[in-house]
Structure 1
Amino acid sequence: MSLSAMEIAGRACHTRLGACGRQRCEPGWRLAPGWARGLVDYDLWFVWAGRGRMILEAGEIELSAGTCLWMQPGRRYEAEQDPAQRLGVNFIHFDLCAAWSGLPLSAFAPPFEVWRTPEVEFTDLVMRRVIALREETGTAPTAAEDLLGALLQTLAHEHSAAETSPPGGLDRHHRGIVERIAAQVRESPAEAGGVDELARAAGYSVDHFSRVFLKVTGVRPQDYVINAKIERARQLLLESDFTIGAVAEAVGFRNIFFFSRQFRQRTGLTPTQFRRGA
């Protein structure tokens, strides 16, 4: 059993890992009605590729990359795939146990049954790691169970945040795209292009991208890029022995004088003053 307690839907608990795997569904595959009748634990079911549809108690849903299902015993799950776009699926069976007694939680209501996460790559990566850890030992290692617990908490938080977001907000799809672009800018500010290149990567016109980006981040995209470059420059000035010119070039400024001016506008110090002060 995992040693690290977590809280999901207000209940302190541990995960207890069961069977898990990753598969590309074969041609002609379908999830037959009899499968759900044999479900005795929870099953985190995640689509990482392909398309299809699933019938639940509440009706029919479309399956596509990012679809998460917290499957529960005693409920209906029937699915089929698009023959031209076969499903890729991760699945992890698990139980939730009370934090201190280790007994299965009673009367627990999962925070969601269906959720379309905007973090497709992250969710897939974490599930793949859980599966790999499980297969490495043939048992249920604490690290895998803790990692699964953290993922469940993350998905539950995403779902809760979406449920409580004010009406009329941005579509999650568009918000996810902007957040992905913003993360790429923060990770590699020197490689961030102009607003036109960012908009093209997002699949938007420049004007539409700028409006959506500002609404999501509170900052215009051109200012966001410069802020990311200055933040990385601050780190390099503290951590490295690069010259000021080398720092400017490393974060994507071709002109050292423009770099110094931008740095001073945003920090109140020149790069040299910042380094000496630090």
Structure 2
Amino acid sequence: MDTFRFHSAGDVTVKAGHHIPERRLSDYELVYFPIGTQTVYKTDGSREELNDPCIIVTRPGEPHSYHFDPMKPTRHLFIHFDCDPETIQSRYSLLTATDSTVIALQDHSLVPQLLNQLLFYFHRRPERWRPLTESLMLAMLEELESMVLPGSKPAVEATIPMQIDQALQYIDLHVTEKIEVEQLARSAGWSHEHFTRTFQQYIGFSPKMWITKRRLDLAAQLLLRNAYSIKEVARNAGFSDEYYFHRLFRQKMGITATEYRRKYGDSRMSDLAPLNDLGRFYPRNHLFVMDSRQKK
């Protein structure tokens, strides 16, 4: 077999009080909770309250259940996978342990970035995406293994300038409204030219292109909720011209909005909560299936 065989993955937000009853998976599951909640994870003889950001590794055949936060929606990212027993399983104790593996994340852990990049590759499927994802998965396991060993030190997290991060947050909060790049630059205390150049440097998009991308991200999320017509999706995503939305969506996504809904709509998403944060580089509340043998 390959070093890794990925089955499914996602970045989802479930409704308050959602419950996954006891189950036994036939593969590994790695789950990341980016913030602490009142979610409870139970496995054979163990009960963990997930009050802090953490990673959970569940092994094949291990009985476990989730009782998600009863008061508010809970976001979590997950990957289902198999791996070669000789080269991978024997190398990492967290894959062969017999007790519950809940790993508290250090403030500067690289695991969130690695996991987000994995989901980006699962979404975009660029050339050589399989070896790329295997390399990232190995890096993530190395990072996690170091966390369960004594004497480990946190890695240094790369950060973007505060002004750019604030602009990103503003865009996400006001994405359906009219947003002027000049106003974003003034709020950052920079000139239009410096703001645009720095934004492009760290984000990989110009501010205008990023605003359009975020509106399309929102539209793609709304399309998965069949209660909205395509016209309503366009309007609710900040597009005043429905025909422009149709043309732009097809140009950027490669398929029409109707085809996107038909291709990615999934009844298993019925327990997911509406999103405030759409995900910057791949769609949230979306199931990526690489191998249909095992799904969440």
In the superposition, the TM-score normalised over structure 1's length comes to 0.47
Q: Which has the higher contact order (CA 8 A, sep 6+)?
A: 2
In the superposition, the TM-score normalised over structure 2's length comes to 0.44
Larger % of helix: which? 1
Larger radius of gyration: 1
